[in-house]
Structure 1
Amino acid sequence: MAKITANYEVVYVLDPAQGEEAIAAQVANFKSLAEQNGSDVVVEEWGNRKLAYPINYKTEGYYVLMTFVSGPAFPRELDRKLRIAEGVMRSLIVCKGE
């Protein structure tokens, strides 16, 4: 039988130059998107941290960890939205299993 839902974990890095309000709006936007398409959404904001290597000449980023349970179609859509969103420097979605 095919797997219907799975646990996913996404870490994304936002550009801290946007300002606190823009960062909070983006975090809330991605959280509401996950709540609409999945369940058990938990958001952990790690805050500003030094990057391992410069990205577009920036040495710091605002890290956010989000976990959720959903079907396999939503992570693909979330990845697409993270790639086109203004201010998202990097993102990674990992399936943690059932």
Structure 2
Amino acid sequence: MNARKRGNALLLCIGLVLVLLVSSAFLIQEADHDCCGEDCPICRTIAMTTALMRALCMIAAAQLIWSVLAVSRSAFHIPGSVRLHAEGTPVSRKTRIND
């Protein structure tokens, strides 16, 4: 199961890199195109590609921040169960409340 997850993660990373490379190649190729007017399909595609790349970069930045936090938590030996709020509910702690 663990090898399958790693394989899926590798395929996802390869797909992400390919999308970014193809998008970058399209933007480079069509950077100096002759616009044919207000409804230019190339300009719309460039706008969509730019939006896609921005979204993917934001996702990558969020993942990087999450990874740094996870590594720093393990580096300082902070257990994962440490939270800012109280642990559990009265039911999970088997506390009887008689009102």
Q: TM-score range by the shorter chain?
A: under 0.3
Name the one with the larger helix percent: 2
Normalising by structure 1, what TM-score? Answer: 0.28
Flag the structure with more relative contact order, 1 or 2, with Cα contacts below 8 A and sequence separation at least 6. Answer: 1
Structure with the greater alpha carbon radius of gyration:
2
Q: Which has the higher strand share?
A: 1
> What TM-score comes out, normalization by structure 2 length?
0.28
